[in-house]
């Protein structure tokens, strides 16, 4: 919403690094010195892999440049990158379809891809998009609608008065970070932006830092934690994460303290 310019977020790099380093060092003492055996295999990047990776990075750069030079909304830059990916995937699909139809070995394909028949399918962006978790997108869409509705009927103004007028900006932003461990940080940040309290740059950066890191206090507070619980149900659970919440809380407090000290000039 134009509250914080893009370059200002780099001021949070050191505080965010500290907030990660503190629990990482604590947890590292509990890791045994045994090495994990790895299976080595000769793997080559699938044809077009480097191009797709370069297109991803280019999309991010182009989105930022268009937003700052032509003041275009960020979604236009992202959709431009998606359109370019669809165009490239068309030619890649045609190439691989021809290769598989003629059974001509393609040197750019890795050995595993060539040996296993179930992987011999042409690259298709539509098959990839089909595997996207649309339920997650609908969840965020519903959250945005709910937050917008609460703002329209005036509840967010009342909540803003309780948090930012009653508790103060610093306490309120730190509390928002703790709440993000229970409620995802995206709807919380969107709610604060809808409230639009009159905060200085330092407080907006504090909100960004707190909401971004606070979700790690619980495994359900971040999309990464939820995804990891689904992938490694046998080793990573809610309670296995909970036993390290105290260390993450130390990192959370250290990062906030570092931000207040290092970026003191941004607070008025």
- The burial of 181, by beta-carbon neighbours within 10 Å (0-12 exposed, 13-18 middle, 19 or more buried), is given as buried
Q: What is the pLDDT of residue 117?
A: 43
Is pLDDT at 179 greater than 60 in this prediction? yes
pLDDT in tens, 153-163: 777 677 777 77
Distance CA 217, CA 242 (A): 8
181-195 pLDDT, tens digit each: 887 777 778 778 877
Mean pLDDT of 48-68: 90
The residues spanned by each domain of the chain are: 46-132, 133-268
What CA–CA distances, in Å, run from 171 to 6, 112, 164, 221, 230? Answer: 25, 54, 8, 20, 34
- Residue 114, pLDDT above cutoff 80: no
* Residue in this structure with the two tokens 């440049």, named with its chain if needed: 65
User: Virtual CA dihedral for 19, 24, 25, 30, nearest 10 degrees?
Assistant: 150
Whether 109 shows a pLDDT value over 80: the answer reads no
pLDDT band at 120, cuts 50/70/90?
low
pLDDT band, very low/low/confident/very high, at 111 (cuts 50, 70, 90): low
Residue 6 has a CB neighbour count (10 Å cut-off) of 9
CA distances, 178 to each of 115, 171, 182, 198 (Å): 50, 11, 8, 21
The residue to which tokens 């000290």 are assigned: 261
- Of 18-27, 192-201, 202-211, the range with the lowest mean pLDDT is 192-201
For the record, the structure tokens of 43 come out as 């793997």
The C-alpha atoms of residue 148 and residue 144 are separated, in whole angstroms, by 6
């Amino acid at each position: 919403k134009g509250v914080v310019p893009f370059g200002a977020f780099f001021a949070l790099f050191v505080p965010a690094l500290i907030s990660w380093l503190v629990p990482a060092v604590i947890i590292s003492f509990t890791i045994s010195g045994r090495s994990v055996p790895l299976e080595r295999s000769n793997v080559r990047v699938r044809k077009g892999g480097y191009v797709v990776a370069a297109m991803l990075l280019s999309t991010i750069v182009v989105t930022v440049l268009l937003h700052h030079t032509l003041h275009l909304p960020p979604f236009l830059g992202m959709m431009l990158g998606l359109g370019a990916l669809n165009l490239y995937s068309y030619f890649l699909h045609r190439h691989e379809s021809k290769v598989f139809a003629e059974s001509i070995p393609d040197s750019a394909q890795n050995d595993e891809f060539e040996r296993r028949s179930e992987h011999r399918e042409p690259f298709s962006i539509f098959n990839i998009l089909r595997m996207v978790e649309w339920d997650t997108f609908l969840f965020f869409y519903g959250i945005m609608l709910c937050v917008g509705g609460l703002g329209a009927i005036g509840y967010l103004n009342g909540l803003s008065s309780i948090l930012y007028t009653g508790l103060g900006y610093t306490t309120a932003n730190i509390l928002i970070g703790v709440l993000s461990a229970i409620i995802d940080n995206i709807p919380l940040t969107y709610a604060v932006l809808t409230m639009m309290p009159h905060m200085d740059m330092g407080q907006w950066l504090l909100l960004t830092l707190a909401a971004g890191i606070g979700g790690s206090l619980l495994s359900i507070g971040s999309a990464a934690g939820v995804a990891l619980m689904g992938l490694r149900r046998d080793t990573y659970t809610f309670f296995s994460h909970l036993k390290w919440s105290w260390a993450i809380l130390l990192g959370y407090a250290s990062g906030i303290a570092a931000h207040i000290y290092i970026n003191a000039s941004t607070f008025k």
